[in-house]
Amino acid sequence: MRRRSFLSTVAALPLAALPLAAQARGFTAIDLTGAAIGPDYLLSYPDGKPATLRDFRGKFVLLFFGFTQCPDVCPTALSRAVEIKRLLGADGNKLQIVFATIDPERDTGPLLREYMAAFDPTFIAVRGTGEQTARTAKDFKIMYRKVPSGGSYTMDHTAITYVFDANGKIRLGLKHDQTAQQCADDLRQLINPKKPGFLQGLFQ
């Protein structure tokens, strides 16, 4: 079986999406503070109720786009999210992992609910119509496409996990090759930011 390819995280993010003032702040992830990504979606939860990112204000949201029949990239990202929560200890309860399907044709509500439960019962999936999915992917700078595979198809898609802070602002793009430890370290900086020293504050 052909190993499914996936689109490059960095290549899939147009330069216009990145903040001009983005500077290295000690993150392993891509610093997306101020980027024109999102800022929200209007999709549905597996039970059909309306879903938006605003539903999770007060939480740090990790948003990943994928599909349930993904053989490697999606399970890896979700398994990493499980480990990130564990590494963060009590701060892990401040996270909300959201999985947005790019394959609503096959990813039904019941299937998505079952898929999330296989990783962590607190993980939440969202889905939309084909049109809603395309619009959301465009807003969040996610590229995806069907790829014929035997008598069916698989999906190529951007492999990145977006991080939104407790105020619903985009902050980071966790790269697919980051370790769970690196991700946890980045998230700690967001959840518990260090206050600048007196002299440092004067020159900011």
- 144-158 residue pLDDT tens: 999 999 999 999 999
Q: Percent of the chain at pLDDT above 90? A: 81
Please report where in the chains the tokens 């990130």 appear, as a residue.
Answer: 84
Q: Percent of the chain at pLDDT above 70? A: 83
pTM to 2 decimals? 0.86
For residues 83 and 87, give the distance between their C-alpha atoms in angstroms, rounded to a whole number.
6
In the beta sheet, which residues pair with residue 161? 64, 174
SS3 content of the chain, % helix, strand, coil (to 5): 30, 25, 45
For residues 25 and 138, give the distance between their C-alpha atoms in angstroms, rounded to a whole number.
27
